[in-house]
Amino acid sequence: MVMSGDPAMNVPTGLSRWTGFLLARAHQRAHALFQDALAPLELTPKSFGALSVIKDRGPLSQAALGGTLRVDRTTIVAVVDELERAGYIERGHNPADRRVHSLGVTAAGSDALRVAERAAGASQDDLLAGLHPGEREQLQALLARITQ
């Protein structure tokens, strides 16, 4: 009962059999939608992810944040700078180890995250507009299972 084929010619016919190409296209679209949805909040998909992790797991170090997001610690610096400049997070001190920055969300960051999550949700609805609720869950579950 599963339909294969090339429903909308979205991907060059011969390439449509490669999951990698479909993933590339789907990701490209998701990223663009996400980016547009978050832009008014001074957030990028990456900084939104960082803010979300800091809110969930904070206070945590920049190294821990980078490890969670799988981003190099040198790349994390700019992301944290950006979030701090926007007033969404603070670089606190860790009395137990004065090398580390203890990242925590501010009240403004918490508010921004709530708004951003609504915007992200709307962009996700846009991305998944063609799928029924059950199909969205299926896709979500299948993707989770091929993610290393």
105 bridge partner residues: 89
State the binding partner of 101 from DNA, a copy of itself, none, CB within 5 to 8 A by kind.
Answer: DNA
CB of 48 to DNA, least distance (A): 12
State the binding partner of 23 from DNA, a copy of itself, none, CB within 5 to 8 A by kind.
Answer: a copy of itself
For residues 83-104, b (16+ Cβ closer than 10 Å) or e, as one string? bbebebbbeeeeeeeeebbbbe
Q: Spell out the residues 6+ positions from residue 80 whose beta carbon is closer than 8 angstroms to its own.
A: 50, 62, 65, 89, 91, 101, 103
Query: What is the x/- site pattern for a copy of itself, positions 32-71, by CB under 8 A?
Result: -xx----------x---x--xx-xxx----------xx--
32 is written with which tokens? Answer: 């663009």
State the binding partner of 134 from DNA, a copy of itself, none, CB within 5 to 8 A by kind.
Answer: a copy of itself
For the beta carbon of residue 69, count every other beta carbon within 10 angstroms.
Answer: 16
Q: Which residues bind a copy of itself (CB under 8 A)?
A: 2-8, 10-27, 29-31, 33-34, 45, 49, 52-53, 55-57, 68-69, 120, 123-124, 127-128, 130-131, 134-148
